[in-house]
Amino acid sequence: MRHPLVAGNWKMHGDRESVANLVTSLLKIDCEAEIAVFPPYIYVPLVAANIGDSGISVGAQNASEHDSGAFTGEVSCHMLRDFGCQYVIVGHSERRNIYSETDDQVAHKFAAVQSAGMTPILCVGETLEQRDQGKTLDVVAAQIEAVIERVGLGNICEAVIAYEPVWAIGTGKTASAAQAQEVHLALRQQLGDSGGKTRILYGGSVKAANAAELFMQPDIDGALVGGASLDANEFSEICKLA
């Protein structure tokens, strides 16, 4: 049985005080799901130190595909691991769309994260235009296949996948539970027998109000939560529903 995971992507939000307050609230959450939080790079050490051995995991929102070198402004996977990161988000739609990360670059980052001993959370998803054109399953399949070609089927099955329809991120729109389940099932089928153990999360305006129905779906194993992860009460409710 797959253990549910609720991951909070804080994006570029917070300061020392608000981060410390949020962590204090997170430590009070009592739930069966695994919890992971993804603060901005600069707050990773602070969060890791305050979380301690509570069982909450800490991750990074991005990482360089390079081990080291003259890459000003970049942070390597080994640096992140050195500060306690256990997960790294790769291929988030904002990285793909705003920073023009390609499927190939995402695959290289995925490989770098695993090589450093951390678990990638691979994000895949379609735009509204692609959904309207009936291309959803083709788009996400191609994003998965690019990583399989780089690391092999076995390695991608050891990671976490997050289906995040681009049109539902930060818009208040959410894929219906049936729509999300359709894509999650297709992803699991693409992975084959090994995909039965792979956790696939849903991301896209997840809130306590819609989490329960999403989590009832047989192939949805938790959530990648954006804005709601900055609200301790809201995030706590989502975790308890997983």
Q: Active-site residues: which are they? A: 92, 164
The strand ranges marked E within 31-188 are 34-38, 57-60, 87-90, 119-124, 160-163
User: Smallest Cα–Cα separation from 122: which of 178, 195, 52, 206?
Assistant: 195
Measured from the Cβ of residue 85, the count of other Cβ atoms closer than 10 Å reads: 27
What backbone phi and psi angles, to 5 degrees, belong to 6? -115, 115
- Which helix or strand (DSSP H or E) is residue 199 part of? strand 199-203
The full DSSP string for 111-141 is HHHHHTT-EEEEEE---HHHHHTT-HHHHHH
- Which helix or strand (DSSP H or E) is residue 203 part of? strand 199-203
